[in-house]
Every structure is written in structure tokens, then in C-alpha cells.
Structure 1
Amino acid sequence: MNILVLVSGGGTNLQALIDAERAGRLGPGKIVAVISDCRSAYALERARAAGIPALIEAPDRGLPEDTRLPELSDRILRRARELDAGLIILAGFLSILGGELIGAYAGRIINLHPSLLPKFGGPGMYGEHVHRAVLAAGETESGCTVHLVDAGTDTGTILLQRKVPVLSGDTQDTLAARIHKEEHIAIVEVAALMAKKLNTLAG
């Protein structure tokens, strides 16, 4: 089961997936490539260090804003088909996907989001923005969600959530660090389950 991982930043969740594959914990899953929409993403270095092809598909800033992301989605779809990817994992990928990709890979794209969806999801809710909003709302718990990707933003079927308490005196950084640990567990668990399920269906 070929897995394509999409990233935008440091890639700690990618590293969790790489380590899990090395340890035989991704079942039939094999990471065949990593794509970033950001040329400076350290996640690309993590991929290269692991011997995984590291590719860049950045939004074309020369295109009108309303066509920029659909065009990026089309390029990623072409890459996924070239790689014969059976599962696409968004591990801190900030570009919003759409177009034909969503239908072509329906039920086979998963996203990791740093809140307990449906709370604190949607456009503009990523990274520190999420944690800041959680603290501002006075929430007593937060966590992470792995969900299927559909045509909406953070609206797909929830597959797994892991919770953490929001502690008195938390900052966005301390809360983020606590959630990151749960993200690494959640993304590996769902990736392994999805790889096994999709591999069985393909067989």
C-alpha cells in the first residue's frame, strides 16, 4: 500500500510515520514520496535522510487566487497517480485541496488537525491559530483529530481523536507541545489501520 505524505513545515508527524514504518508498525503501508508546498520545509530534509523522494509542489503565485489551489490539487493528483499511491496523508499540510483529487481519492485521504473537531476547525484554523483560539475560549481540554478529507475544510468523517487537558497557565506553545505527542500516536495508528483496510479492499 503506497503512501504519499503531504507536508508544509517541520515534519515531526512525518518523522513519526517514518519511524513507525521502520519498526514495522505501518502494516502494509510504505511511504513512497513526500510532497511539500513549501520549499524551505524541514520535513523535506527528514524525507531525504530516510531515503524517501522529497518533492516540491508549491502554489503558483502567478495564477489568480481562485485557481491557484485547484491547480495545485491537480498537480498533486498527477503525482499520486504516477506513484500509484493508495493512501494520501496530510501531516501538517497547509494548502487546501480540492477539485478532482477529492473525488478520485475519496475515502483515501486523511488529515491530522490539532483540535477536537468540529471545534476550532475550518479556514484559517491551523497551528498556533488553533491553540490560541482554544485558550481564548477557556476550554478545559483540547487534542487532535484524524479525519477523512472531503470537499469542505476539516469537515470529513472523524476517524480518531486523542485528548489532553488544558492546564492553568498554559501558553499556545505548552499546549501545542502536549498535543504534538498525541498527534504522533494518532497519525501512526490511523495510517496503519487505513493501509491495512485499503490493502485488503484492493486485494
Structure 2
Amino acid sequence: MFKVAVLVSGGGTNLQALIDYQKSHTDCPYQICLVVSSTKSAYALERARLAGIDSSVKSPFSVMGKTAAEKASREEKNAAVSEAILAECKKYGADGIVLAGYLSVLQGKIIQEYKDRIINLHPALLPKFGGVGMWGHHVHEAVLASGETESGCTVHLVDSGCDTGKILVQKRVPVLCDDTPDSLYARIAPLEHEAIVEGLLMVCSGAC
């Protein structure tokens, strides 16, 4: 069984897709052993509780302390959180990591120790509309502003860059002339749920 830690920051709908697949498929090759949130208010933590999955919060404040976190740079915060997540993943024996709406950038030893076993879901067709600051509605707003005729989502391997790893799965939708960020997201979201499961199954099978 491939044990997985899922990293979240918000509502956790993609986490729920992974939980639902695990519950509904007796031959599911993975088991979610841990959910880690970047914030204690994320509803994803409630989803983990309801599913009987252990969870923890790893934020700059919880890891570094309030004073140190307030003085630290973004890179220092990411490094500290990444180290804490690595320790937690090892504690639970995680074989892989899924970034399911996780808004921070992992860096340092965790990238090497879980090389080719960390995947991220991005709400656009990479390599377009990726990088720092490109998350959630910011992505959909940028897609609409650019005049693109299609968008979608991407699951990719995580490397030392930001949204730069090998692409595993992409799902596409047309961009309609009357789209808003909300309507575009609403059409992409169900495909995200499919893509994140497909991407994890690829990692479990060694197909990536």
C-alpha cells in the first residue's frame, strides 16, 4: 500500500476526491495517512476528521513561533515549513505527497527525499499561468484577461521550481465569451477531482 500525505490550504474538495476514490475502490493502491494544512481554519481539516485521517497544521507561526515568523522572509518561512512537513511525513511513513490546493512552495530536503513522489494540482494548463502568485482565482482572472480560448488543470511532479515539474495529467475546457473567474472555475473543478486521482495513481504505479 502506497501511503500518502496530502497538503491542503482551504476547503479540501480535491482532498475529498482522493478520500472518495479510496473508499469506493477496493483495489485502490494508496492510503491517505496524513493531512497537513497551512492554516488551522481550513475546512479540509474537518474532511480529514470525518474520514478518520490524522491531521496537523504546519504554518510559519506554528513552526517558527510568532516573533521569528514575523521577521522571516518568504523563503525562510517556506524552508522552515518544508522541514516540519518532511519530519511529519517521515513520522507517518508517507511514501508520497500530494499538494491538493496547497498554497506554499516546498523547498529543501523534502524535494530530494521525495523526488518523483510529490505531485501538485494547478488550476491552469501549464506551462502557461504558473509561478509565484498564480493560484486560485488569480489564475482564472489571468486566463480571461489574456484572451485564451481554453483552460483547464494540470497535475505535475514537484521539483525545486514553482509549477515547473514534469506534467503528468492535463484536463481541458473551452473558455466561453461570457465567462467570469467563478464560472470558469466551476467548469474546471470537477476535472481537477479527476486529474488529481489520475496523477496519484500514476505515481503509485511508477508510470511517471
Q: Same fold (TM over 0.5)?
A: yes
Shift in Å, 1:25: 6.8
Q: Is 1:21 paired with 2:22?
A: yes
- Tell me the CA shift for residue 24 of structure 1: 1.4
Per-residue deviation, 1:27: 2.5
Pairing 1:136–2:136 present: no
The match for 2:45 is: 44
What CA distance in whole angstroms lies between the structure 1 residues aligned with 2:92 and 2:189?
29
Residue type of the alignment partner of 2:33 = V
Amino acid at match of 1:181: P
Counterpart of 1:122 (choices 108, 115, 131) is 131
Structure 2 Cα separation of the partners of residues 32 and 110 of structure 1: 16
Q: How far is the alpha carbon of 1:162 from its aligned partner?
A: 0.4
2:12 aligned partner: 11
Maintained 8 Å contact 1:113/1:145 = yes
Check conservation: 1:114, 1:179, Cα contact below 8 A. yes
Aligned to 1:196: 205
TM-score normalised to the size of structure 1?
Answer: 0.94
**2:162 matches 1:161:** no
Task: Determine if contact 2:21/2:28 at 8 Å carries over to the other structure.
Answer: no
Structure 2: how far apart are the matches of 1:190 and 1:133? 25
Deviation string for 1:48-72 (max 9, x for gaps)? 0111112111123523113111010
The 1:25/1:96 distance shift into structure 2, 3 A limit, reads farther
CA contact (8 A) 1:20 1:26 kept: no
Find the residue that maps to 2:139 and give its secondary structure: helix
Output the CA distance in 1 between the equivalents of 2:116 and 2:194: 21
Higher relative contact order (CA 8 A, sep 6+): 1
Structure 2 regions of 5+ residues with no counterpart?
Answer: none
Query: For residues 25 and 149 of structure 1, do their structure 2 counterparts lie closer, same or farther at Cα, with a shift above 3 Å needed?
Result: farther
1:83-122 matches, cutoff 5 A: 83-122=92-131
Cα 1:160–1:39 shift into 2, 3 Å: same
Partner Cα separation in structure 1 for residue 59 and residue 126 of structure 2: 27
Post-superposition CA distance 1:125-177 (Å, at most 9, x none) = 00000000000001100000000000000000000100000011000000001
Whether the 8 Å CA contact 1:26–1:191 is kept in 2: the answer is no
Task: Tell me which amino acid in the other structure corresponds to 1:131.
Answer: H
Q: C-alpha displacement at 1:89, in angstroms?
A: 0.1
Aligned-partner SS, 1:153: coil
Q: Which amino acid aligns with 1:16?
A: A
Alignment RMSD (CA, Å): 1.3
Gap change, CA 1:164 and 1:25, over 3 Å in 2:
farther
Counterpart Cα distance in 1 of 2:58 and 2:135: 20
* Equivalent in the alignment of 1:53: 54
Q: How many residues align?
A: 198
Q: Compared with structure 1, are the counterparts of its residues 9 and 188 closer, same or farther at alpha carbon in structure 2 (3 Å cutoff)?
A: same
For residue 187 of structure 1, the aligned residue among 184, 196, 204 is 196
After superposing on structure 2, the runs of 4+ consecutive aligned residues of structure 1 that deviate more than 2 Å are 60-63
